[in-house]
Copies of this chain bind each other. A is one copy, B any other.
């Protein structure tokens, strides 16, 4: 029997051109493809906006040269287009794109109940999210998540340059890292298991292996909050580093990481930044203030009495950001030395004051976007603290292996990708920077 195999090679060069390269094809007839985003009929011609991978490009339809009837085009039809690129000095781009012929690849069977091709999707948050598969096609909506991809790419570039190793830790776990009741339960082949609230234990384990590790992955919090800043599933940008001299090393690493992301956007995402009219914040350095001093400062400046000595109220985070912005010009502020009572059992205490930890939050425009700190690396110290907290040590047996068999001084942080994105884009709800948000009322689409 003869074997009938074909051979598949890597992708051939696209015969259709990309919008970015149109400038190189002036005077030529080219192929393009995309969705018909909007048709604007004028008296004797029409503008047809074509939505391509990244840009929406304006095409001109005129019976003078088109070899097809405009009526064959519907908004949201997918087409292959043959076009002439004509030099046009009056146009900002230097060219105009004339539609010569189209092949309609597919058509919608109905019109979208939400208008998606205006500048903004003018509807309620509820509708925007209910119709996510369609509303994301709006030029500005999709720019948000293109920028988010750019942020992640900037982070990854930074981590690679800083000799980090990327890890993939499990999301089904036998014990929660953050403690408390805010954990999703799972029936795992008849046994009780949980969804990981963070990769905390795993990234610490991996510091013993690679010294510097990172992971960008979903985490799950069964919090019953229904606010503009909480999600029940979000993307956590986590890193953990060993051989630190102090917990400030972690904050320094975070400044570097954020700066890389902003530089990546500035370098390669100007299209989306301009579309959303975003000016990126300056990030040379970030001011840092101790928790208790911040509390006193807010109390004094705004004449508020301090109700909770262990944590911020959301309002206080906003006020602190305002003060810092005014005094230093910074949109970011580190708050350090959070009370031991409010930090997890693995948080290292300040040797000079065990009531506070060597930990920090990063606030960005009034919202906490990341939490980090130095961890206990001594077995004895960790066991003592767990006993003091009446914890069941046996449950953490595998985690405690790292302390038992040797760990360097280390620490790290987690950053909420959606929170960072939404504050960067001056949004008032984190859901706007979440592709398909999960909250207490929403598990679709």
- A-side residues, CB < 8 A to B, are 1, 3-12, 16, 18, 33-35, 52-54, 74, 76-78, 80, 105-112, 130-134, 136-137, 142, 145-146, 148-149, 152-153, 156, 160, 162-163, 165-174, 184-189, 191, 193, 195, 201-202, 205-206, 208-212, 217-218, 220, 222, 224, 232-233, 235, 242-243, 248-249, 251-253, 255-256, 259, 284-290, 293, 296-297, 300-301, 323-324, 327-328, 333-334, 377-380, 398-399, 401-409, 417, 435-438, 440, 443-445
A191 to B232, CA, bound (A): 14
- A32–chain B nearest beta-carbon distance, Å: 10
- A118–chain B nearest beta-carbon distance, Å: 16
In the complex, what residues of B have CB within 8 A of residue A191's CB? 443
Q: In the complex, are the beta carbons of A3 and B108 less than 8 A apart?
A: no
In the complex, what residues of B have CB within 8 A of residue A77's CB? 406
Q: In the complex, are the beta carbons of B152 and A166 less than 8 A apart?
A: yes
In the complex, what residues of B have CB within 8 A of residue A148's CB? 168
A74 to B52, CA, bound (A): 61
The 6 residue pairs across chains A and B that have the minimum distance between CB atoms: A398-B445, A76-B406, A108-B406, A78-B408, A10-B256, A5-B287
- A350–chain B nearest beta-carbon distance, Å: 15
A4 to B153, CA, bound (A): 35
Q: In the complex, are the beta carbons of B106 and A406 less than 8 A apart?
A: yes
Given contacts A3-B289, A8-B255, A106-B377, contact A398 B133 (CB under 8 A): yes
Given contacts A402-B133, A404-B108, contact A7 B287 (CB under 8 A): yes
Q: List 14 additional A-B contacts (Cβ < 8 Å) besides A7-B286, A80-B243, A186-B195.
A: A6-B288, A8-B252, A8-B288, A10-B252, A11-B253, A108-B406, A110-B405, A133-B398, A136-B208, A145-B167, A145-B209, A168-B417, A170-B218, A170-B437
Q: In the complex, are the beta carbons of A379 and B109 less than 8 A apart?
A: yes
Instruction: Give the residue of B220, B251, B288 whose beta carbon is less than 8 angstroms from that of A5.
Output: B288
Instruction: Give the residue of B167, B248, B409 whose beta carbon is less than 8 angstroms from that of A8.
Output: B248
Q: In the complex, are the beta carbons of A187 and B185 less than 8 A apart?
A: yes
Q: In the complex, are the beta carbons of B174 and A149 less than 8 A apart?
A: no
Given contacts A287-B5, A405-B112, contact A445 B399 (CB under 8 A): yes
- A442–chain B nearest beta-carbon distance, Å: 10
Q: In the complex, are the beta carbons of B208 and A133 less than 8 A apart?
A: yes
- A97–chain B nearest beta-carbon distance, Å: 18
Given contacts A35-B406, A404-B110, contact A189 B256 (CB under 8 A): no
Q: In the complex, are the beta carbons of A186 and B184 less than 8 A apart?
A: yes
Q: In the complex, are the beta carbons of B9 and A284 less than 8 A apart?
A: yes
Q: List 26 A-B contacts (CB under 8 A).
A: A3-B289, A4-B293, A5-B333, A8-B285, A11-B256, A18-B163, A33-B408, A35-B408, A52-B211, A78-B408, A106-B377, A109-B379, A111-B405, A131-B401, A134-B401, A137-B209, A145-B165, A146-B165, A152-B166, A168-B417, A169-B436, A185-B187, A186-B186, A193-B443, A195-B195, A398-B445
In the complex, what residues of B have CB within 8 A of residue A334's CB? 8
Q: In the complex, are the beta carbons of B133 and A205 less than 8 A apart?
A: yes
- A284–chain B nearest beta-carbon distance, Å: 7
